[in-house]
Amino acid sequence: MIEVAAGNVLKNLENITGKKILIVGDVGVDEYVIGDVNRISPEAPVPVVAVTEQYSRLGLSANVAQNIASLKSESVLLSITGDDETAEKLRGLLKKEKVNSDFLIKDSSRQTTRKLRVLGVLAGHHHIVRVDFEQRRFLSPEVEKKYLKRAQEVIPEVDVVIIQDYAKGVISESISQKIIELSKKNKKKVLVDPHRLTPLHFYSGANVFKPNFAEALALSKIDQDDLHFNKNIIRDVVKALETEGQFETVILTRGKEGMSFVQKGKIENVPTFAKEVFDVTGAGDTVIASLGLGLAAGFSVFESCVLANAAAGVVVGKIGCVPCYYEEAKAALKERC
């Protein structure tokens, strides 16, 4: 079945191009410092990194946006930044990746999220430390009003809406529910990539809900001890989330096990395409972007999952938060056929 679906997606892959997708959520910049590790510091028992390379990449919801752009479609990013150097760097990176930044709103009271990762090269790339520069708080009433006004302007123009939650403060209950309401009013599908710390009812009414398995367990409030004796745990988790969140479809991402969802009472499993896994950073962003494009192109849920697994299989073979490009997804699908 997977080979047939991959063939169908490959045959109609051009249908995902030229779509316009709105991404709602937190944004940031990922910075990487890479170097050789040959000794331990005499000042403390920590490795010394002799820096050989530094670079910055789009992070959080901005990575979803660049995945859509790299798959030959238009992404519109609706988010909040601070009025700082990181925000300017973010805009520069978005321009380079051809992502529409016209709907980024400046809030001088906030700090633009920046994540600094230090990697040491010692028989491979190893994370040594991650330093986060960020503020986790909801928007002020004034900024939220401005945000929703921009959402009202752009939603009628797009094909699909993605709510990407990193729990930094953009996705409040009122913003999420208003986005879903506006999308339904304009007959646009809403996909949600949730955060385990955000209450489930924030997302209520979305069309597609895509947690990873750990998030699904936390949000469904199913005890992990049930995993030891319940063979139907996936069905139980999906049913609990669909009922409580009033979602049409719940898709669970399960790492090396691929994806699972329930259709007509039957569990559908879509295996992973990954050959080698170097870094899973940003893979979830690639999945939600691909799912959105697949559904916008008229693919079935199963076919959209196949596209998403093909794209995710590409990015986990790279280092850092990087997108899957159209030709890479095409090659992965062709190989699976």
Which amino acid type is present at position 165?
D
Helix, strand, coil % (nearest 5) of the chain? 40, 25, 30
CA 283 vs CA 172, 219, 245, 258, 320: distances in Å: 24, 21, 24, 12, 10
Asked if 163 contacts 179 with a C-beta cutoff of 8 angstroms, the reply is: yes
Q: Alpha helices, DSSP H only, in the chain? A: 2-11, 61-70, 85-96, 141-154, 173-185, 213-220, 233-245, 283-296, 301-315, 326-336
Task: Determine which one of 26, 107, 193, 285 is catalytic.
Answer: 285
- 226: annotated active-site residue: no
Asked if 210 contacts 64 with a C-beta cutoff of 8 angstroms, the reply is: no
Strands 259-263 and 249-253: antiparallel
Asked if 59 contacts 27 with a C-beta cutoff of 8 angstroms, the reply is: yes
CA 29 vs CA 116, 302, 326, 329: distances in Å: 9, 32, 23, 25
Which amino acid type is present at position 309?
N
DSSP conformation class of 32: E
- Residue 68 DSSP SS3: helix
Asked if 219 contacts 211 with a C-beta cutoff of 8 angstroms, the reply is: yes
> Catalytic residues, which ones?
285
